[in-house]
Amino acid sequence: MQIDIVTIFPDFFRGPLDHGIIRRAREGGLVKIEIHDLRAFTRDRHRTVDDRPFGGGEGMVLKPEPIFECVESLNIAPRNQRGASRQSVVLLSAQGTRFDQKLASELSELDRIVLICGRYEGVDERVGTYLADREISIGDYVLSGGELGAAVIVDAVTRLIPGALGNEASTRQESFFAGPELGGDSAGEGARPTQVRPDSTCGSGGLLDYPHYTRPADFRGMKVPEVLVNGNHEEIKRWRRKSAIEKTSVNRPDLLDRVKLSEEDKELLEKIEAVKD
């Protein structure tokens, strides 16, 4: 996969994309990331990328010309052929579709993604209407620029590319994944609909992830749950499912509507809800 990032702050990406899984995926040739300085596509001596808004009002707006020219220089398919070419041009915008694991999974299937980072009061609307084929928001808050959002998308998407993680089963047990093994809808939330490995201890099934512990088993008197150290894999699996349901019910009850629960899960949930009330 190739990801191109269009920004007025290319140095911003020194660091966030140079560590851990992203660095390894880049070095291993799974993902190629190129940063494009929008100012290189200006024609005046001040390298102007912004201008005042028509109609008046606060702040400055990123001009369309450098953004169109930059994206056009990347040999991206025309807007109406992007789906067939497995390409997408994304405008980062607080007004966009909210980014989630399902969208990350959808993007991870593409061959090429261009991420356009806005700044100031935003980007000339013609970029969203005629150049980008989707607008994505990383959450219901306003950031100063699209760069953090672009880094978030690159991270979430790259780790879903087959081979990016050492252990392929780990995406399947993470929060929000709902593969087929636990009654989740493989076409819905989460990563690719592949079979869960037989040695996988659990799949999240669209729930939040279960709690993780490592050594020491007793840290300042705070003990790891006994069930995790006794080596009974069936009990561990049941405990993890129960803990994931509990955590989801407390922190993200909205997710429970989309999870297929067994009769045992439902009984457990009723007990948790009763305590909550």
Contact footprint for ligand SAM (CB under 6 A): 92-95, 117-119, 121-123, 137-139, 141-146, 149
Three-state DSSP at 95 gives: strand
- For 190, which DSSP code? S
Q: Least distance in Å: CB of 153 to ligand SAM?
A: 9
- Strand, coil or helix: what is 52? coil
Residue 153 or 245 having the CB closest to ligand SAM: 153
Rounded to a whole number of angstroms, the minimum distance from the CB of residue 160 to ligand SAM is 19
Q: How many residues does the chain have?
A: 277
If the CB atoms of residues 143 and 228 are measured against ligand SAM, the closer one turns out to be 143
Tell me the CB-side half-sphere exposure of residue 128, using CA atoms within 13 A.
17
> CA-to-CA distance for 165 and 197, rounded, in angstroms?
14
Q: For ligand SAM, which residue has the nearest CB?
A: 118
In this complex, which beta carbon is closest to ligand SAM, that of residue 143 or of residue 165? 143
∠ CA(181), CA(185), CA(191), 5° rounding? 80
To ligand SAM, the closest distance from the beta carbon of 241 in angstroms equals 33
Q: What is d(CA 88, CA 3) in angstroms, rounded to the nearest whole number? A: 10
Q: How far is the CB of 112 from ligand SAM (least distance, A)?
A: 20
Of the pair 139, 163, the CB lying nearest ligand SAM is at: 139
Nearer to ligand SAM, 134 or 247 (CB): 134
Cα 66 to Cα 42: distance, rounded to the nearest angstrom: 6
Closer Cβ to ligand SAM, 137 or 248, answer by number: 137
Distance CA 269, CA 224 (A): 23
User: Environment class of residue 171 by beta-carbon count within 10 Å: exposed (0-12), middle (13-18) or buried (19+)?
Assistant: buried
Rounded to whole angstroms, how far apart are CA atoms 175 and 210? 8
Q: Could you tell me the smallest distance in angstroms from the CB atom of residue 139 to ligand SAM?
A: 5
Q: With the CA atoms of 226, 236, 161 and 132 taken in that order, what torsion angle do they form, in degrees rounded to the nearest 10? A: -90
CB of residue 195 vs ligand SAM: minimum separation in angstroms? Answer: 34
